[in-house]
Structure 1
């Protein structure tokens, strides 16, 4: 029963298509796994490697079943001092799906890549830039959109308001990077970008509008202030999702930091609802069909339903915690001030 969704839609049938491996980490993300996996399958990802640690919900059970079906490679993360995410990337270097990939993309479960060229697949994006070594895909932040509860609706279909297409003067936006698995140029994965080999030769590294990175950017850039190239591709970042999801995330902490706290400033930074963006809504049909196929597996369907229920119950409990009460009070105060202004 290997790659049933990919085979059904013919994404695995093009022998000229590159082998693209997506690598991620998850903790207590059971309610969101199927939509995210289905989306990256629809983009033509050949392999998806998922590391998890210390999960309290059905995340591990869902992923173990998807692993059985051949849809993901699920691994339990041994977290080192560097934190869950960076530890997973260190262990991920030993995975065959990573070592044998043509291209690698590190993304989180709240990040959905939207490709606007060709048929909307990784292949179309790569084919648009012959000879390129890395494409840094720029975040476009999507806000809470006033959504309170957690429901079984794909994130891109619920949260459709985002920061403006164009950046403000002096603004920078972070990115994640799709890069060629060329060990003469890149020696390992990073959260936002690959690490460059010390003796690497010239590297053709661009943003989606074709803007090339200069030597300084190649050595260490994590964000850009121009060259977003959203008409070619954008990385939709749903850092908040619903209020209930945010309160659960606040309780859990941040993946990149062992003791990372999510404060009120985090909400303010990521609650961007300036303009409507329905781009991914109009491109999500394939992912929905793949999700439907995955749910034909009884064990997956059962654990998915339990994960939704768990997330909903935890969100209710989270509201009773002092940290959440303080946050909600501050948010209500800010909204009242905004309305009075």
Structure 2
């Protein structure tokens, strides 16, 4: 177990990582450019340069990296929930003003003012909690991995009105701490929102629309619905699949929360939305690139990033040499699934759960007649 961190933060992101090396710098640069000042990262069994790159950033105070303690915490804890439980005990977390639990494939996309946290806080009248809902971004028809910026090259996504699958309107929640109460109005830090309310009243909690979160979510709920969905002020861009080749690495690596669930054909179909294009996050691209350039100029950081890119490419080659992964790759790049990614509004919630085999040949025949815009 690593030592407790001594860094301080005002606006903190907590995350878990396993073999995310090639994608770290863009994620850090983007979030620093919009106003987050530190990231607490729990790592687990990495072998692609993730730890080395994070430690390089940690030496300069940009992140704090810790070995994930979940295996030492007894049964009942998966990597993500164990890390969050441990994080509650850290002064770094308890002394922060704002905390967000977010993954390295999730990018906060603010639509008001200058597109930064100060603008979001001003537009929402400085609430205690802000929930931002996912907008699912697909592979943008990029099968091969290349070292590009996700926020620049991946713009194909789900439509704003997307009641299915249930993941489409999942949320992550940024919250204020409150003195001795690390989760503010709640007792525990949760994956999607704080848990176990400790106050009688509904917290001052707004959605990405800027409107109050419904009171029936006070004690439970991890997604919005038809009545409260929306992206007026802030979106959480969720690049769950990235390129098709990178998705192979993600599937092989496994999950940090629902560890027992395979990221197979059904997962690919419900997360690979290529129905519309949204480039709104690119208003911050110049600031992100400026911060990225600054990070790469730090001694050793550029070479550590390049080493992670090389390791990622090597892992892709290794997986593509396996017969099972080769077959899986051919399935997810098939004309059928590529076509479906353009028209996922025709897929029911049950079909999303069951996967591509539940889609009738008749539907595919009809979709093939739809002109590509």
TM-score by length of 1: 0.89
**What is the CA–CA distance in structure 2 between the aligned matches of 1:47 and 1:286, rounded to whole Å?**
17
Which residue in 2 is equivalent to 1:232?
233
**What is the CA–CA distance in structure 2 between the aligned matches of 1:260 and 1:321, rounded to whole Å?**
21
Which residue in 2 is equivalent to 1:174?
170
Q: Which sections of structure 2, spanning at least 5 residues, go unmatched?
A: 1-8, 340-360
Which residue in 2 is equivalent to 1:108?
103
**What is the CA–CA distance in structure 2 between the aligned matches of 1:272 and 1:42, rounded to whole Å?**
27
**What is the CA–CA distance in structure 2 between the aligned matches of 1:52 and 1:83, rounded to whole Å?**
13
Q: Which among 47, 53, 64 is matched to residue 44 of structure 2?
A: 53
Q: Which sections of structure 1, spanning at least 5 residues, go unmatched?
A: 1-17
CA contact (8 A) 1:185 1:201 kept: no
SS in 1 for 2:65: strand
Which residue in 2 is equivalent to 1:70?
61
Which residue in 1 is equivalent to 2:336?
334
Which residue in 1 is equivalent to 2:294?
293
SS in 1 for 2:300: helix
Q: By how many angstroms is 1:265 displaced?
A: 0.3
**What is the CA–CA distance in structure 2 between the aligned matches of 1:124 and 1:131, rounded to whole Å?**
10
Which residue in 1 is equivalent to 2:129?
134
> How many positions carry a matched residue from both structures?
324
Q: By how many angstroms is 1:324 displaced?
A: 1.5
Q: By how many angstroms is 1:333 displaced?
A: 6.2
Which residue in 1 is equivalent to 2:188?
188
CA contact (8 A) 2:197 2:218 kept: no
Deviations 1:110-143 (A, max 9, x none): 0001001112111211121225221110100000
CA contact (8 A) 1:53 1:79 kept: no
Which residue in 2 is equivalent to 1:15?
none
SS in 2 for 1:280: helix
User: C-alpha root-mean-square deviation of aligned residues, in Å?
Assistant: 2.1
Deviations 1:276-335 (A, max 9, x none): 111112321111111111111231111110101111111121122233123224332634
Q: By how many angstroms is 1:200 displaced?
A: 4.3
SS in 2 for 1:286: helix
SS in 1 for 2:174: strand
SS in 2 for 1:48: strand
**What is the CA–CA distance in structure 2 between the aligned matches of 1:163 and 1:133, rounded to whole Å?**
29
Residues 90 and 319 of structure 1: CA distance in aligned 2, closer, same or farther (over 3 Å): same
Q: By how many angstroms is 1:38 displaced?
A: 0.5
**What is the CA–CA distance in structure 2 between the aligned matches of 1:120 and 1:101, rounded to whole Å?**
22
Mean Cα displacement is larger for which, 213-222 or 45-54? 213-222
SS in 1 for 2:53: helix
CA contact (8 A) 2:70 2:82 kept: yes
Which residue in 1 is equivalent to 2:11?
20
Which residue in 2 is equivalent to 1:99?
94
**What is the CA–CA distance in structure 2 between the aligned matches of 1:200 and 1:19, rounded to whole Å?**
27
Is 1:208 the counterpart of 2:208 in the alignment? yes
Q: Which among 22, 29, 37 is matched to residue 38 of structure 1?
A: 29
Deviations 1:75-128 (A, max 9, x none): 111223421111111111122221111111110000001001112111211121
Is 1:146 the counterpart of 2:141 in the alignment? yes
Which residue in 1 is equivalent to 2:352?
none
CA contact (8 A) 1:250 1:261 kept: yes
SS in 1 for 2:134: strand
Which residue in 1 is equivalent to 2:247?
246
Mean Cα displacement is larger for which, 87-96 or 111-120? 87-96
**What is the CA–CA distance in structure 1 between the aligned matches of 2:213 and 2:115, rounded to whole Å?**
24
SS in 1 for 2:193: coil
Is 1:164 the counterpart of 2:165 in the alignment? no
SS in 1 for 2:219: helix
**What is the CA–CA distance in structure 1 between the aligned matches of 2:198 and 2:104, rounded to whole Å?**
31
SS in 1 for 2:313: helix
CA contact (8 A) 1:84 1:257 kept: no
Q: By how many angstroms is 1:169 displaced?
A: 8.2
Give matches, 1:269-280, under 5 Å: 269-280=270-281
Q: By how many angstroms is 1:196 displaced?
A: 3.4
**What is the CA–CA distance in structure 1 between the aligned matches of 2:256 and 2:16, rounded to whole Å?**
8
TM-score by length of 2: 0.82
